[in-house]
Each structure stands twice: as C-alpha cells, then as structure tokens.
C-alpha cells in the first residue's frame, strides 16, 4: 500500500512550500490539489460563467478535462491538454476556485482524480479536505495553520518580491473571506481531522515546520 501524507489548512499557511520541500527530501510525489480547483476555476472564468450559477457550472464540468503531469518532479496541470500551470496563481483565479469548489459536481470529479493518484504512489497531498475526505486512511495527517496576520504578511511579501501591487489590509480581508467560505461550505468544509496533528506555523520558520512534520512522518513510517 502506498504511504500517504495529508496536509490541510487555510490559504497562506505555507502548505505548498512545506509539502514541496518535504516531498523532495522524502522522495515522494507532491500533489497540489488547490491547483486542480484553480484549473477548473480558470476554465469557468474563460467561459464567462458566473461563480453563483451552479447549473451552468455543473453543466460545464464535463467539458473540463483536468490532468496532472510531472516535469522534473514539478507538478504541471493540464486543462483539456493545454498546460495552464502558469495561469493559476492569481488572486482572481484563487477567489473563483474558492467560490466554485463548493459545488458537488466540481468536487466529485477532482476528488476521484486525487484518490486515483494516491492509490499507487507515495504522495504528500495538500488541500482543504485531504485528511477528512480524500484520503481518510492517510498514514500521516497534518493540519497546518497560522494567524491571519502572519498569512497576510507572507502573501504581501510574496507580491512585493514579484513587483506586483499589494495592499496588506485588502489581503487580510480576502484571507478572512476565503477562510470563511472554505470552512463553512456544505460539502467537505475545511476542518482538522480528528486524527490530524495540529501545527501552527505563525512563529516557526519553514525549516522548523519541515523538520517537525518529517519527524512525525518518519515515526509513522517506522511503525507502518
Ligand atoms: O490552496 P489554494 O489556495 O490553491 O486553493 C484554492 C481554492 O481551492 C481554495 O480556496 C479552496 C479550494 N480547494 C478545495 O476546496 N479543496 C482542496 N482540497 C484544495 C483547494
């Protein structure tokens, strides 16, 4: 059986940075499920579909073929055969992904793809519902979080480094709204699985978080 590590938590907690680093160290495949919801959202945006129009979104889902490929160990997301990885990390796509990921048609399709990937491969998968819904039998479950202030500051620094305009207060408001949507939706809301270990990265460096999670994984792997 494949060894699965599930990392869930709110936007900006550092999940992808941590998961990517750890995957490299352990020789596991990193699966970024947020990128799949973003690819779907990008498709809906391109089609001009309104985020509140569940009927149109449900109908459109069949026309969006999302697949994953790895190039030099880095996840690439293909939408109907086209590599859209570079188009996914904008605030617009992120907000659309948060809004449209509430719909069962979207979730059912992407969860099936995620479960298939984890069945035969040792993965570190990050998202919102990995430990609670996608991989309930994952050997390691982590709930990674950080305060809104810390997450907003991190995002602000990221945008500044890229030379993009950034407004700290607006980022914090967006984060709070996104948290609320992700935590209060009907289907698979973001929450800590009962058997997940809580890691609060507010006052921890990346190296500290990676080594804390690695220690948990290695202990479990020894027992597995
Ligand atoms: O992790 P991210 O910011 O790339 O995710 C974008 C949105 O996708 C997030 O706000 C909610 C949704 N998402 C989800 O519902 N379930 C997941 N497993 C991953 C992401």
Q: Are strands 4-8 and 140-145 parallel, antiparallel or unpaired?
A: parallel
Count of C-beta atoms within a 10 Å radius of residue 162: 9
Nearest-CA residue for ligand 1 atom 2 is 34
pLDDT score of 211 more than 80:
yes
Looking at residues 66-78, what average pLDDT do you find? 94
Nearest-CA residue for ligand 1 atom 10 is 98
Distances from the Cα of 35 to the Cα of 30, 76, 83, 125, 197, angstroms: 12, 9, 12, 11, 24
- Residue among 10, 34, 177, 191 whose CB has most ligand 1 atoms within 8 A, to mutate: 34
Looking at residues 109-117, what average pLDDT do you find? 97
> What local confidence, expressed as pLDDT, does residue 73 receive?
87
**Could you tell me the distance, in angstroms and rounded to a whole number, from the CA of residue 139 to the centre of ligand 1?**
22
Looking at residues 135-139, what average pLDDT do you find? 97
Looking at residues 76-101, what average pLDDT do you find? 95
> What local confidence, expressed as pLDDT, does residue 164 receive?
87
Confidence tier at 192 by pLDDT (50, 70, 90): very high
pTM: 0.93
**Could you tell me the distance, in angstroms and rounded to a whole number, from the CA of residue 185 to the centre of ligand 1?**
12
Nearest-CA residue for ligand 1 atom 14 is 128
> What local confidence, expressed as pLDDT, does residue 198 receive?
98
Query: Which tokens hold the place of 41?
Result: 């959202």
Q: Which residues contact 208 (CB under 8 A, 6 or more apart)?
A: none
Looking at residues 173-186, what average pLDDT do you find? 94
Ligand 1 nearest-atom number relative to CA 114 = 18
Confidence tier at 223 by pLDDT (50, 70, 90): low
Confidence tier at 4 by pLDDT (50, 70, 90): very high
Looking at residues 158-181, what average pLDDT do you find? 93
Looking at residues 169-177, what average pLDDT do you find? 95
What residue ranges line ligand 1, CB within 6 angstroms? 11, 33-34, 37-38, 94, 97-98, 101, 127-130, 178, 182
> What local confidence, expressed as pLDDT, does residue 222 receive?
86
Query: Which tokens hold the place of 164?
Result: 């993009």
Torsion of CA 48, 52, 58, 64, to 10 degrees: 40
| Helix (H), strand (E), coil (C) string for the chain | CCCEEEEECCCCCCHHHHHHHHHHHHCCEEEEHHHHHHHHHHHHHHHCCCCCCHHHHHHHHCCCCEEEEEECCEEEEEECCEECHHHCCCHHHHHHHHHHCCCHHHHHHHHHHHHHHHHHCCEEEEECCHHHHHCCCCCEEEEEECCHHHHHHHHHHHHHHCCCCCCHHHHHHHHHHHHHHHHHCCCCCCCCCCCCEEEECCCCCHHHHHHHHHHHHHHHHHHC
């Amino acid at each position: 059986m494949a060894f699965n590590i599930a990392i869930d938590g709110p936007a900006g907690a550092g999940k992808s940075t941590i998961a990517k680093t750890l995957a490299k160290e352990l020789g596991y495949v990193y699966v970024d499920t947020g990128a799949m919801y973003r690819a779907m959202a990008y498709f809906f945006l391109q089609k001009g579909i309104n985020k509140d129009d569940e009927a149109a979104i449900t109908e459109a889902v069949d026309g969006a073929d999302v697949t994953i490929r790895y190039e030099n160990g880095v996840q690439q997301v293909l939408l109907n055969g086209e590599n859209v990885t570079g188009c996914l990390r904008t605030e617009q796509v992120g907000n659309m992904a948060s809004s449209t990921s509430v719909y069962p048609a979207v979730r059912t399709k992407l969860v099936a793809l995620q479960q298939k990937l984890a069945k035969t491969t040792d993965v570190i998968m990050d998202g919102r519902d990995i430990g609670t819904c996608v991989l309930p039998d994952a050997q390691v479950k982590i709930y990674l979080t950080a305060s809104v202030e810390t997450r907003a500051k991190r995002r602000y620094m990221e945008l500044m480094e890229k030379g993009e305009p950034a407004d700290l207060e607006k980022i914090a408001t967006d984060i709070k709204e996104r948290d609320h949507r992700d935590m209060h939706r009907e289907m698979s809301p973001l929450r800590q699985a009962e058997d997940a270990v809580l890691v609060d990265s507010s006052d921890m460096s990346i190296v500290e978080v990676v080594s804390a999670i690695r220690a948990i994984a290695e202990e479990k792997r020894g027992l597995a």
